[in-house]
Amino acid sequence: MMTLRPSGGGGAHLIIGLVAVAASSGATTAGADQETTMSPLFASVEIGADLSALPDTERRALAHIIDAARVMDGLFLEQVWAGNPSMLLSLMNDDSPAGQAALDFFVLNKGPWSRIEDDRPFVAGAPVKPDGANFYPAGATRDEVGAWFDQLEGAARTDATGFFTTIRRGVDGGFAIVPYSVEYQGPLAIAAEHLRAAARATEHPTLQRYLETRAAAFESNDYYDSDVAWMELDSTIEPTIGPYEVYEDEWFNYKAAFEAFVTVRNKEETANLAHFGDHLQGLEDTLPIEPRFRNPALGALAPIRVVNVVFTFTAGDANSGVQTAAFNLPNDERVVREKGAKRVMLKNVQEAKFQKVLTPISLVALPNAARTDVSFEAFFTHILMHELMHGLGPSTIAVDGRQTTVRQELKETYSTIEEAKADISGLWALDQLIDQGVVDRSLECSMYTTFLASTFRSIRFGINEAHGRGVAI
């Protein structure tokens, strides 16, 4: 995981997690000497992206997109815990060294809990991190909300269990469904205006369409058109902004958290990976599962992008303790079924993780003879395989004659199982593609050795986090 701090130009300073030994030795309880106990968890890395070729129009658009991305950080803080905004203000008013250290750690973790240390609180007075985050009413229990979900039918159940609604207490004391566009109306209106300003500045029609449709989605709560526009995006600037991942909803994995990635495309490396998209249907058709669960017609769109993070941005859920290195989106099963999914590789983030985390781990976890097989190419390729496999396999299913999704049926176990699936099936996909000559066989040994070292990297996230728990099982 890492936090990004500006360094000017297209660069950023990363604060990236160290190896497990350092994390263990740095564990403390709230109220201890924070400025000395938090620092061993992290190391600083500088990354950058070349923006020299961007014309003035796109630089102006980029500035507005970053302004919109900043809003996602505030929204995510509110989604994690209702008390986060007031606690943040309190920490900002504490000028002591311990207070400033706690503030830095709070911003990095998006709350007063150390995410890679089983969510231990590090701010005095912080409660236990709520498993339901702030998606559900304070004082409600998981069983109570789940029973209410179960008695709903049709559109009401779809809305209640959907990505883009919160559940609140109504005036009658019962539960009520509140769209994100209402719950977060003010901040989303600000973000929408920033995106529209960016759309007016850019000369790229596909970027303009994505920005305009995403701004409209913030106001309408209908994200379908903007998800499709994001899939079709063909621009040097490659932003991803909005509610996407469901990890934060540990009750049901229903509710999407706000995040943002502001990146620029590496055109050469993107072109080098384009051919992998041609093999997705073949992988789907040979998945080692019952044939009835395979999708005979994957969505027509399967773009793969290699990008570099620019300035300070990733935001929100994308930079909450654990920094995202790659992603497969959108998660909306309707879009995936009808249009497909996009895989995005954050190369400069991956390079930082390889340098500062994976390489030191390999020196501890692997015997001397195996360490030479650890390579960035293998690390990058397995992450790619992992992301490719996220989009394969069943998503929409029928249960007792009822149309539903795997995510809605698995509930709180979904994210963990999905991450474990992507890891293991990624190795399976590698074997398939090596046999087909798509991936060079010389990478085989390096791939398995690097993957082994990388499992220890993922376990650092903790077994309360989906990737760490997925590796553990």
Reported pTM: 0.85
- Cβ pair 346, 240 in contact under 8 A: no
**Orientation of helix 56-80 relative to helix 185-201, angle to 10°:** 170
Residue 368 placed within a domain: yes
- Matching residue, tokens 């400069």: 348
Q: Structural domain of residue 396, as residue ranges?
A: 2-115+137-472
Tens of pLDDT along the chain (473 residues) come to: 333 333 334 444 444 443 322 232 233 344 444 444 555 677 778 887 889 999 999 999 999 999 999 999 999 999 999 999 999 999 999 999 888 889 989 999 999 999 888 899 999 999 999 999 999 999 999 999 999 999 999 999 999 999 999 999 999 999 999 999 999 999 999 999 999 999 999 999 999 999 999 999 999 999 999 999 999 999 999 999 999 999 999 999 999 999 999 999 999 999 999 888 888 889 989 999 999 888 887 766 788 999 999 966 789 999 998 788 999 999 988 888 888 889 999 999 999 999 999 999 999 999 999 999 999 999 999 888 888 888 788 887 888 888 888 888 888 888 888 888 888 898 999 999 999 999 999 888 998 999 998 888 887 776 777 777 777 77
Buried b (16+ CB within 10 A) or exposed e, 235-253: bbbbbbbbbbbbbbbbbbb
Residue 420 placed within a domain: yes
Residue 300 placed within a domain: yes
Cβ within 8 Å of residue 157, ≥6 positions away: 149
Per-residue CA distances from 20 to 17, 101, 456, 462 (Å) = 9, 21, 8, 10
Residue 243 DSSP SS3:
strand
Q: Is 17 left (phi over 0), alpha (psi -120 to 50) or beta?
A: beta
Q: Is the dihedral of CA 51, 56, 59, 61 positive or negative?
A: negative
pLDDT for the residue numbered 396: 79
Residue 262 placed within a domain: yes
Max Cα-Cα span within the chain: 68
- Measured at the CA of 198, the angle between CA 192 and CA 199, to 5 degrees, comes to 90
Cβ within 8 Å of residue 375, ≥6 positions away: 446, 450
Residue 129 placed within a domain: no
What does the block give as tokens for 68?
Answer: 């919109």
Residue 128 placed within a domain: no
CA distance 308 to 263: 5
Where do the H-state alpha helices sit in 110-184? 142-151, 154-160, 180-183
DSSP string, 148-169: HHHH--HHHHHHHTSTTEEEEE
CA distance 118 to 219: 36
For 44, phi then psi, to 5°, come to -95, 135
Residue 123 placed within a domain: no
- Matching residue, tokens 């961007």: 54
pLDDT for the residue numbered 312: 65
Residue 132 placed within a domain: no
CA distance 149 to 145: 6
* Number of domains forming the structure of the chain: 1
DSSP string, 314-355: EEETTEESEEP-EEEE---HHHHHHTB-EEEEEHHHHHHHII
- Cβ pair 23, 116 in contact under 8 A: yes
Q: Is the dihedral of CA 390, 393, 398, 400 positive or negative?
A: negative
Q: State the distance between the two ends of the chain, measured CA to CA, in whole angstroms.
A: 21
Number of H helices, E strands in the chain: 22, 16
* Burial grade of 437 (CB within 10 A; 0-12, 13-18, 19 or more): exposed
